[in-house]
Homo-oligomer: A and B are copies of this chain.
Amino acid sequence: MGLTAQEAHSKKLAPATDGVLPVFLHRWSSRAFADRPVSTADLKLIFEATRWSASAYNEQPWRFIVGAKGSEAFEKILDSLIGFNKGWAASAPVLILGVTKRTFAHNGTDNSYDFYDLGSAVGQLTLQAAALGMTTHQMAGFERDKARELFSIPADYELGIAVALGYQGEPELLSDEKLRAMESSERQRKSLEELVFSSWGTPAQLG
């Protein structure tokens, strides 16, 4: 017998650290989704959290196309995914496509922070979903030209990310053994010493 969804989730928890918002430690990227729809009320909360993200010149370059399973939008996003992602993401109750505006509205110049700001906004999306007991999985693996054509996305918007959203399912739902194992392997991160410096390569002294 494999692990249950709850057992898998408990293995993904980052080490508890007093004072760190729990949602950072709880959020992780599942690939197994339960057969349970996401309410439109919860979807609204998730995008409400997303839209308060910071952005350069408050441009808010992010735009989202969202589709619940069975909708035309869902089918088009799924159709845009590369084969590997298509396999497991087909079971997600919601798929989202994140795109970002290349230029600033206030003067038409290139916004070199369009991807950066989209990353921040989608980060808030994933955290709010985690706070509501859901899981998300961001995918860079999708065909940008195909998605652009299927949704008639204007040239001024860049294709950014696809996201699967839903409730975590039993790892056993995944037919691929390697993916099943990844559902319950520990989350790995570099240490603070490798990431936070006082001068290049020298770890900062943190309390």
Binding site for B on A (CB under 8 A): 14, 17, 19-21, 23-25, 27, 29, 39-45, 47-54, 56, 58, 60, 62-67, 71-73, 112-113, 115-124, 126-128, 131-132, 138, 140, 151-154, 160-161, 187-190, 192, 195-200, 204-207
Q: List 22 A-B contacts (CB under 8 A).
A: A17-B48, A19-B42, A21-B127, A24-B128, A40-B206, A43-B206, A44-B206, A47-B192, A47-B195, A51-B189, A51-B195, A54-B123, A60-B189, A60-B195, A65-B204, A66-B197, A71-B198, A115-B115, A115-B119, A116-B118, A119-B120, A154-B200
Identical copies in the complex: 2
Contacts beyond the supplied A20-B48, A20-B128, A123-B123: 19 A-B pairs with Cβ under 8 Å: A17-B45, A17-B48, A21-B21, A21-B131, A27-B52, A27-B54, A41-B207, A43-B207, A44-B207, A60-B189, A63-B195, A63-B196, A64-B196, A67-B198, A115-B115, A116-B160, A119-B120, A120-B123, A121-B123
